[in-house]
Amino acid sequence: MALSFTLLLCALALALGVRPSAAAAEKPQLSVHLTALSPTVLKKGADITMRGTVTNQNTYVWDNVQAYLVIPRSPFTSRAQVDDAKTNSDSYTGERIVEVDSFDSIGDLSPGASREFIVKVPYEQLRITGADGVYPVGIQILATDPDGIRSNDAVSRATTFIPMLTDPPEQQIPTSIAWPFLMPTYRNADGSYAGARELLVDVGPGGRLRNLLGLARSTPADTGTVIIDPGLLVAVDELSRGKRVGKAVDVTEAEKAAAESFVSELAALARRDRCWVVEFDRPDLLALTENSDLAAPLGDAIDKATGDALDEFSISCRAVSWPRADTAAKKVVEGARGPGDQPVIVTGSNLAGWDRRDGSLVKYGTGAGPVPLLVDDALDESVPGEDSVVTLRQRIVSESALAVLQRAIDPESNADAIAIVGADWNPGPSWEAGRLNDAFSAPWVNAAGLDSLLTRPIGEFDGTVRAAKNARSEPVNRAQLLAATQLRNTVSILSSILIDAAAIETAAAQDVAQAVSQRWRSNRSTGLKSAQGAAKRADRQLDKITIEGPPRVTLSSESGSFPLTISNGTDHEVNVGVRVDSSNPALIIPGVKPVTIAAGERHTLTVNVDVGDHGSASLTASLVTPDDRAFGVPAVFNVRSSTIGAVLWVGLALAGLLIVVAIARRFRGSRRSTVHDE
C-alpha cells in the first residue's frame, strides 16, 4: 500500500511538471588545477600562497564560488601514514582556514568557464604544530548550486604536499624524474597513421607532447631520464615529411616544421640525459611469453625495429621493458630480463612484500639471474585534483623528505624519490609557472639520472611479482600474432631478393612490432585488421614478381630448350632464381642461376631439358630466393618428345634421294633417245 502511494505521488509530481533539480540530476563537476604554490619547502613563519583555476564542467551555473586553503595541524612522518590516510580522505583533508582575507571569492561560474583563484594565508593562521614531516595542503571549493543549496561540504578539491624539515640531514636522498615519450597512435591497415592529425597537434605549439618536452628540457642535466618509444620518433619524423598521413589529412608547412623540430629536440634531450628505450610500440610481453613458438622470430623483428630507429636518430639508450600493470607477472619479468641489466618497470601493486624502505630500484632473482625492477609508486596517486607541474614538484620534494625521516630511524633503508611522470600527462603551455626546478634546490635532494642509480648498490626483493589487482585485460590473441608472423615471413623473402632491401625491412619490422603491441588489448578487432593489412601489403609486393612459361613444349628430339619469362613489377631491383621440378623424378633438368632484374623490367631465360626415353612430363617452374626458398605462383606446363619427328626426317631424306635418282635416270634416258634419232 505504501509503495502504491509513493508511486501515485511521483505520478502526480510528473503530471504537475515537477522535475528533479539540476544539481540532483547531474553530479557536481568542478575541476581544480593548481598552478603555483609557495614556498616549496615550509619554514616556520613563512606564509603560504596557492594559485590555481577552477573549471565548471557542469551544464548549469555555480553561484558564489569560493576557494579555501586546508591543512592539518600535524604532518605525516612516514609513507605508510600517507597510504593509510588516502583510504580515508577525511583523515588528511585538514582544517579549512576561514579567516577574513584568507580565502578567495571567485564569483559565479558559468558552464565550461574557468576562473583563477589566489589564496594567501599567514603562517599564524595555519595553526600547525611545526613538527618535521610532510603536510598535505590543498584547496576546497564551496559554491551554491542552481537550487540555492550551499553545503558546507566541498564540491571540489585539490591536494598536494609540502614538507618541513628544520635540520637539514647529512645524507642526501637520490631523486630523479622519468619522462616517458610513448607512441600514442598506430598504423591503419593501409599503412597510414590513424591519429596523424592528433599527433601533429600534440607535437605542435601548445600540444601535450610539446609541453612535456619543453618542461623536461628545462630541468638541469642528470636530474632525470627520458624514456622513449622509438615508434614515436619514427611517426613524427614521417609526418614531418608528409608520409603516412592518409588521404584526409593535409599537413601544412608550419606543421611539418614543428614536427621536425620536435624530433630534433627530443633526440638531443635523449643524448643529454642518457635515455632509456622501450621496445618499439611496447609489445605485449605476456602474449609473446604464452606463444613461445612465435616469440623468437617476432622478437627478432621487434629488436630490429627498435635498433634501426635508434641508429636513424643517432641515439644510444639502455633497453627497458614496461609491461602493463595488469599483466606484470613473474613469467613476464623473467621473459623480459634481456642481458641481465635491462630494467623492468612495474607498479607497487605488482610487488607483494615490497616496501618503500627497499627503494624504487630493487633486484629480483629469477632462474636466469637477477632483474632490476623500477617501481612506480606515486606519493600523490589518487589524491583529489588534477596533476600539474606544482603537484609534480611537491611530490618529488615531499617524497624525498619522507625518505630522510625514514633513513633517520632506519639506517639500512634505501628509501628514495623517483617520480615517473604519467604517460598521458599534459603539463600545459604555462608549465614554467610551476617552477619545477625548485624541487632540486632542497638541501636534502641529490638529483641523479636513473642510469647512475643503477650503478649503485640496490636492495634485494624476495617477494612475489604478480599482476595488479582486478586485472581484466587479456593478452593479444594468437590470431594477431600469426598475422604478424605471416608478415615477418613474407618480408624475410622480400629482403633476400631485393638488391636494396634495408628500407623495406625496417618498415616491415615496425609493422610487426606494432602488430603485437599491448595497445590492442582494448581494441582487438582493429589490431587484427592492422596486422592483417600490413601482411597483405607485403604479400602484394611479393605478388608483383611473377614467372611465365609456355603453355606446352614439344621437343623434336629427346633434348631441347624452352623459354621462361620473369617480370619484376616492384619499384626495386631484384635478384631471383628459378627452380624447375618435374613430375618424373628421372627427368634431367640443369639448374638455372639467379638473375638480376631492374625495377619494372622483364627478363627471359632459356632452360635446357632432356626427357630421354620418358616421352613427356609435367614441369613446374618456381621463383626462388638465392637461398632456394620458393615463392609466388609457379608456372606449370607439359613437355613432350616426338620420336615421329626423327622418322619423318629420315623419310624425307629417302624421298628426296629417290626423286634425285628418278630425275637422273630420266635425264639419261632422254639423252640416249636424242643420239639414236641423230
35-67 confidence digits (pLDDT tens): 999 999 999 999 999 999 999 999 999 999 999
Selected residue with higher pLDDT from 455 and 281: 281
Residue at a domain's end among 422, 442, 465: 465
148-178 confidence digits (pLDDT tens): 999 999 999 999 999 999 987 878 999 999 9
Rounded Cα distance, 364 and 379, in Å: 23
Indicate which CATH number applies to the domain containing 366: 3.20.20
**Residue 518 and residue 556 in one domain:** no
Indicate which CATH number applies to the domain containing 33: 2.60.40.10
**Residue 535 and residue 557 in one domain:** no
Q: How far is CA 416 from the centre of its chain?
A: 29
Strand 276-278 with 318-320, pairing = parallel
Report whether 319 contacts 340 (CB < 8 A). Answer: no
Q: Is the dihedral of CA 301, 307, 313, 319 positive or negative?
A: positive
**Residue 207 and residue 187 in one domain:** yes
Report whether 486 contacts 506 (CB < 8 A). Answer: no
**Residue 254 and residue 349 in one domain:** yes
- Residue 288 resides in a domain: no
Rounded Cα distance, 664 and 643, in Å: 32
What DSSP string runs through 446-513? EE--HHHHHTS--EEE-SEE-PPTT--PPPPPHHHHHHHHHHHHHHHHHHHHBSS-HHHHHHHHHHHH
Number of domains in the chain: 5
Residue at a domain's end among 134, 164, 194: 164
**Residue 571 and residue 672 in one domain:** no
Residue at a domain's end among 465, 489, 524: 465
- Residue 291 resides in a domain: no
- Residue 47 resides in a domain: yes
Q: CA 374 → CA 318, 371, 419, distances in Å? A: 13, 10, 10
The pLDDT value given to residue 638: 85
Rounded Cα distance, 310 and 318, in Å: 11
**Residue 536 and residue 559 in one domain:** no
**Residue 157 and residue 184 in one domain:** no
Rounded Cα distance, 672 and 211, in Å: 121
- Residue 601 resides in a domain: yes
Q: What is the mean pLDDT of the chain?
A: 87
Q: Is 338 a residue whose pLDDT tops 90? A: no
Q: Is 663 a residue whose pLDDT tops 70? A: no
**Residue 460 and residue 324 in one domain:** yes
Q: Is the dihedral of CA 496, 501, 505, 507 positive or negative?
A: negative
413-432 confidence digits (pLDDT tens): 999 999 999 999 999 999 99
Q: Which residues pair with 51 in a beta bridge?
A: 36, 118
- Residue 604 resides in a domain: yes
Host domain of residue 490: 478-543
What is the pTM (predicted TM-score) of this model?
0.85
- Helices 230-240/196-203 angle, 10° precision: 100
**Residue 451 and residue 337 in one domain:** yes
**Residue 539 and residue 550 in one domain:** no
Nearest residue to 358 via CA among 79, 588, 642, 142: 79
**Residue 112 and residue 259 in one domain:** no
- DSSP SS3 for 427: coil
Calculate mean pLDDT across residues 263-276: 94
Rounded Cα distance, 649 and 642, in Å: 12
- Residue 281 resides in a domain: no
- Residue 302 resides in a domain: no
- Helices 478-497/502-515 angle, 10° precision: 180
Nearest residue to 434 via CA among 399, 401, 397: 397
Rounded Cα distance, 201 and 634, in Å: 49
Q: Is 232 a residue whose pLDDT tops 80? A: yes
Report the 10 Å Cβ neighbour count for 246: 15
Rounded Cα distance, 427 and 387, in Å: 8
238-260 confidence digits (pLDDT tens): 999 999 998 888 999 999 999 99
3-state helix vs strand vs coil in the chain, percent to 5: 40, 30, 35
The pLDDT value given to residue 86: 81
- Residue 13 resides in a domain: no
| Chain position carrying cell 612459361 | 549
**Residue 150 and residue 53 in one domain:** yes
- List the beta strands (DSSP E) in 91-223: 95-96, 103-109, 114-121, 133-144, 156-164, 173-181
